[in-house]
């Protein structure tokens, strides 16, 4: 049995572990929501700490808090920012939809820790979680602001660098493979020739456009609802509180945060988060295509396509010796599937923007941040363990290209579609080459040398 102390909130008393920094409202939330064991992720705790730290600074600057109290709150909030008290945040993400339980968790931890710091300085001041730490704030503007801060920071710190490195390596492969001509494929069937450089240019462009879409969506996160308090009207906060606090958060993070243009939109909806989640999903769709294409192009090594050679990162089978599987591609594809599921959850949560407040924000925060983390880690692993060491088998590409009947397409301007179709069908049935059949039908050798050269099929005729 753990030793406890008695704490009280507006509903009565609660027993709280003696060593806990949190108080009655957090204990009540722990009791109410024994759902998943999943707590707020670290970026959200950091964001809440940033808000509380600079809220105290603003309230002191505006004459609302005395210096000792403000300094103690800022010191305690800094410890939260640094992750020193993460174990003091046990509230489940499946909680009150406004995030009130987690906001009060942070208020109580910071208030109690700040009181301890003041006692160490021989001060008898008691710091209250609502009256002091939450001064000028409401869960309804703090929690959505924390979501924006956390997601924006993680995008810039982890996902954008991972995507940019992936893009650079795809461009490197585009250059490395530019002279390797291979058969194209549409509908999983042979199509006209293409270079591997052209293939990888398409992958690189997908990622480039994904970065642009995500950067555009991330701009919406820079608007913070802070200052709207309960319903967006700003009741019980100083008119300068939000701009003062947000300016300090922006300076600390290096991101251009600003006060929401319309507090009623910012608190009644979470459209900015929906937009980011959608862009993350879009990015995952692109990544899935790249990983899956590489997986198929490397199939074999002898009885599949085999045009790409994957780095061997681990044994592929517990029963088949020597087997090497496309494990890094499979890992990234599973990440992409999870991100797509997360987006569906975020969308469903965003539908619960009822009147002046969304009431499914903790799960939105968790899923969006998980998508950012999974994509960042999945991309980095795929990039370093698969893409960097990826090679093309030029001989295999050449052999498959020579066997393809799709080269007959280049004869269409000379002999017409129907004649070309008959040649392709006959070549397939008889095993004869297209060249032999075309020579038999009267096309001269020089013309065939020009038309059937794959290098002349890679771009429009000039």
Q: Any idea what the Cα angle at residue 368 is, between residues 363 and 371, rounded to 5°?
A: 125
Residue 136 is encoded by which pair of tokens? Answer: 């000028």
Question: Could you check whether the bond before residue 301 is cis, i.e. omega within 30 degrees of 0?
Answer: yes
Judge whether 308 and 393 are in contact, CB under 8 Å: yes
- CA dist., res. 364 & res. 377, Å (int): 20
Kindly report the CA angle at 138 between 342 and 157, in degrees rounded to 5? 45
User: Is the Cβ–Cβ distance between 340 and 284 less than 8 Å?
Assistant: yes
Q: How far apart are CA 389 and CA 397, in angstroms?
A: 18
Short-list 154, 360, 140, 97, CA closest to 276:
154
Beta bridge partners of 353: 358
Q: Catalytic positions, please?
A: 187, 317
- Residue 249: C-alpha distances to residues 43, 106, 126, 237, 246 (Å): 14, 17, 26, 18, 5
Residue 195 DSSP SS3: strand
């Amino acid at each position: 049995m753990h030793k406890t102390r008695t704490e009280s909130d507006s509903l009565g008393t609660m027993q709280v572990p003696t060593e806990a920094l949190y108080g009655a409202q957090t204990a009540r939330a722990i009791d109410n929501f024994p759902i998943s064991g999943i707590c707020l992720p670290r970026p959200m705790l950091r964001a809440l700490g940033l808000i509380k730290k600079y809220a105290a600074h603003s309230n002191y600057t505006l004459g609302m808090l005395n210096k000792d109290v403000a300094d103690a709150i800022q010191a305690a909030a800094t410890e939260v920012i640094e992750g020193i008290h993460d174990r003091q945040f046990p509230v489940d993400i499946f909680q009150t939809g406004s995030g009130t339980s987690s906001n009060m968790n942070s208020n109580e931890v910071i208030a109690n820790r700040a009181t301890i710091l003041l006692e160490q300085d021989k001060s008898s001041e008691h710091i209250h979680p609502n009256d002091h730490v939450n001064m000028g704030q409401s869960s309804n503007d703090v929690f959505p602001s924390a979501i924006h801060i956390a997601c924006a920071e993680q995008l810039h710190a982890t996902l954008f660098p991972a995507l940019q490195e992936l893009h650079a390596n795809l461009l490197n492969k585009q250059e490395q493979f530019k002279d390797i001509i291979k058969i194209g494929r549409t509908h999983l069937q042979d199509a006209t020739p293409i270079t591997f450089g052209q293939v990888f240019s398409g992958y690189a462009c997908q990622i480039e456009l994904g970065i642009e879409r995500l950067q555009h969506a991330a701009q919406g996160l820079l608007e913070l609802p802070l200052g709207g308090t309960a319903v967006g009207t700003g009741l019980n906060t100083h008119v300068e509180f939000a701009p003062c606090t947000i300016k300090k958060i922006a300076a600390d993070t290096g991101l251009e945060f600003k006060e929401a243009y319309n507090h009623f939109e910012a608190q009644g909806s979470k459209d900015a988060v929906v937009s980011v989640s959608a862009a993350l999903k879009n990015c995952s769709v692109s990544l899935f295509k790249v990983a899956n294409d590489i997986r198929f192009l490397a199939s074999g090594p002898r009885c599949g396509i085999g045009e790409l050679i994957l780095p061997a990162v681990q044994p592929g089978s517990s029963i088949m010796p020597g087997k090497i599987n496309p494990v890094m591609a499979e890992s990234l594809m599973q990440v992409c599937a999870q991100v797509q599921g997360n987006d569906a959850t975020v969308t469903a949560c965003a539908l619960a923007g009822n009147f002046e407040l969304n009431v499914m924000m903790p799960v939105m925060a968790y899923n969006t941040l998980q998508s950012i983390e999974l994509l960042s880690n999945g991309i980095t692993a795929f990039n370093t363990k698969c893409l960097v060491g990826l090679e093309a088998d030029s001989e295999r590409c050449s052999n498959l290209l020579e066997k393809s009947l799709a080269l007959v397409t280049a004869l269409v301007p000379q002999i017409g579609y129907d004649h070309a179709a008959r040649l392709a069908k006959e070549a397939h049935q008889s095993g004869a080459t297209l060249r032999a059949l075309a020579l038999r039908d009267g096309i001269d050798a020089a013309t065939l040398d020009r038309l059937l050269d794959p290098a002349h099929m890679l771009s429009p005729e000039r």
